[in-house]
Copies of this chain bind each other. A is one copy, B any other.
Amino acid sequence: MSLLTVGSVAFDAIETPFGKTDKIIGGAGTYIAIAASFFEKNQKICAVVGDDFPQSMLDLLASRHVDLTGLQIKQGEKSFFWSGKYHNDMNSRDTLVTELNVLEHFDPIIPESYQGVEFLMLGNLTPQVQRTVVERLNERPKLVAMDTMNFWMDIALDDLKQTLKVVDLLIINDEEARQLSGVSSLAKASKIIREMGPKYLIIKKGEHGALLFHGDNVFCAPGLPLEEVFDPTGAGDTFAGGFMGYLSSTGDVSFGNMKRAVIAGSALASFCVEKFGTEKLTEITQNDLEGRIQQFVSLANFEMTIQVG
């Protein structure tokens, strides 16, 4: 099928206990598109960059079957830039710099050739921009997924709630799920959040894996125990990209297939954190990914015929 991703294509500068980078390529849209490209060969992106964005990176996306017709290049303007520093435990970080630049007035243009797309992934952006994209599609996609973050819950909660009403699936982390629902039990939070709109919910728990909820079905994907997390930047976007790429490439939105998509996303995210930025994702082969998925199968799989007592 086909997957349209809306998300930032940008620059990051990252500092972790293991080292620091200069300006490198980042952005939710970038991570999502690269991750999805392992599965989906028919991708489209809707984003905006300045004229400072390297052509080589756009070529890399194009070589991975990402249609760039909807990527606007603003002459005389600069790309979005984020800089952050991770604490020693890697679980928290400080934002050092956020320069919105071209994102400040981002008006998502949907080219005619994008109409009819079957899967839509709304990367973390203002809820209003996310909703605009859904409104500008003439046909409702088979599945609309969105990411968001605590920042929008703090400053644009009403707007966020409007957007939640028009999506099928929300992908957030455990802290965000607790903030959005106002309760600490994730089982309870999953019900409260799904009453806000999305039928499907994924709660990412970092090293503890991820939970997928739909109706009375719950799936708990394991986290792969890693000896070292080098840089967590983009892991959540990579998860979302792997998930949506798998789903879109199979065209199957059954709960059983969504479980597999969660594993696909988890496997790619486990690679993402091994090096700075998108570096590891652009190095690994399809074989590497298959091997990592097999690790997840071994990690979670057990056979149990129940005969107690």
Binding site for B on A (CB under 8 A): 38-39, 41, 89, 184-188, 190, 205, 207-209, 211, 217-229, 256, 259-260, 263, 286, 289-290, 293-294, 297-304, 306-309
CA distance A211 to B300 in the complex (A): 10
Question: Once the chains bind, are A218 and B187 in contact (CB under 8 Å)?
Answer: no
Question: Once the chains bind, are B39 and A309 in contact (CB under 8 Å)?
Answer: yes
A sample of 16 inter-chain contacts (CB < 8 A) reads: A39-B308, A185-B226, A185-B227, A185-B229, A187-B227, A188-B227, A190-B225, A209-B220, A220-B299, A220-B300, A221-B302, A259-B302, A260-B304, A286-B308, A286-B309, A300-B302
Question: Once the chains bind, are B304 and A297 in contact (CB under 8 Å)?
Answer: yes
Question: Once the chains bind, are B218 and A220 in contact (CB under 8 Å)?
Answer: no
CA distance A132 to B294 in the complex (A): 43
Question: Once the chains bind, are A263 and B225 in contact (CB under 8 Å)?
Answer: no
Known: A223-B220, A299-B220. A304 touches B263 (CB 8 A): yes
CA distance A294 to B207 in the complex (A): 25
Q: A225 is contacted by which of B220, B222, B259, B286 (Cβ under 8 Å)?
A: B220
Question: Once the chains bind, are B205 and A208 in contact (CB under 8 Å)?
Answer: yes
Question: Once the chains bind, are B302 and A256 in contact (CB under 8 Å)?
Answer: yes
Least CB distance, A40 to chain B, in whole angstroms: 9
Question: Once the chains bind, are B286 and A256 in contact (CB under 8 Å)?
Answer: no
Q: Which residues in B have their C-beta under 8 angstroms from that of A226?
A: 185, 187
Known: A260-B304, A293-B304, A308-B290. A218 touches B211 (CB 8 A): no
Question: Once the chains bind, are B187 and A225 in contact (CB under 8 Å)?
Answer: yes
CA distance A96 to B95 in the complex (A): 41
Q: Which residues in B have their C-beta under 8 angstroms from that of A221?
A: 302
Known: A309-B39, A309-B286. A302 touches B225 (CB 8 A): no
CA distance A143 to B208 in the complex (A): 29
Question: Once the chains bind, are B219 and A299 in contact (CB under 8 Å)?
Answer: yes
Q: Which residues in B have their C-beta under 8 angstroms from that of A222?
A: 209, 220, 222, 300
Q: A302 is contacted by which of B207, B208, B211, B263 (Cβ under 8 Å)?
A: B263
5 new A-B contacts, CB < 8 A, other than A222-B300, A300-B301, are: A186-B225, A205-B208, A208-B208, A220-B300, A259-B302
CA distance A276 to B280 in the complex (A): 48
Closest residue on chain B to residue A88 by CB atoms: B184
CA distance A222 to B89 in the complex (A): 23
Known: A222-B220, A299-B218. A293 touches B306 (CB 8 A): yes
